[in-house]
Amino acid sequence: MSKADQPKFDGLILSKTRLGIISALIGGDKLDFTYLRNALNLSDGNLSVQIRKLEKAGYIKVEKIFIDRKPKTFCKITSKGQKAVKNLISKLENLVNTES
């Protein structure tokens, strides 16, 4: 594979933390902030910064839902986010399967 043939990756989701968040949401479930924080072993500050970046890019949607009168922040992947992560996975798979 020549340099020119190498796939271009989406830098936004190539970061390990953001890739973790978006991979957790890929199934279409809505996951809340605490659930994501515990599952990915992230700090509150780091998680909220990364969530904001993904939301700004339109990859995830953030909504507040009241459960037992307490607000919870839930994140959900958008169709743009789904496309981006599927695209990334197929590019990574191509790269892994390419014989050097």
Partner 1 sequence: MNREHSQEDSNFKHGEAEEQKTAADDLKFIRSVIEKTCRKIDPGWPIMIIWGLIFMIGFPALYYLKMNQLDQWIWPIQWLLVVIGVGTTIYFGANARLRERKAGLISKLSKQIYWIWFILQANLIIWICLGLFKDHMGGFGLLVCAIYGIGLSMMGILYSREWLYGGIAIFFAILAAFFIKSYAYVILGIVTGLACIIPAIIAQRNYNKQKEENEQG
Question: Of the two residues 19 and 62, which places its CB atom closer to partner 1 in the complex?
Answer: 19
Q: For Cα atoms 100, 14, 94, give the angle at the middle one, nearest 5 degrees.
A: 30
Please work out the total of residues on this chain that contact partner 1, with binding judged by CB under 8 A. 35
- Classify residue 4 as exposed, middle or buried by CB count within 10 Å of its CB (0-12, 13-18, 19+): exposed
Which residues ranging from 35 to 94 are in contact with partner 1 (CB under 8 A)? 35-36, 39-40, 65, 67-68, 72, 74, 85, 89, 92-93
Least Cα distance to 51 among 39, 61, 38, 64 occurs for 61
Interface with partner 1 includes 27 (CB under 8 A)? yes
Answer yes or no: are the C-beta atoms of 82 and 26 closer than 8 Å: yes
Binding site for partner 1 (CB under 8 A): 1, 3, 6, 14, 16, 19-20, 23-24, 26-36, 39-40, 65, 67-68, 72, 74, 85, 89, 92-93, 95-96, 98, 100
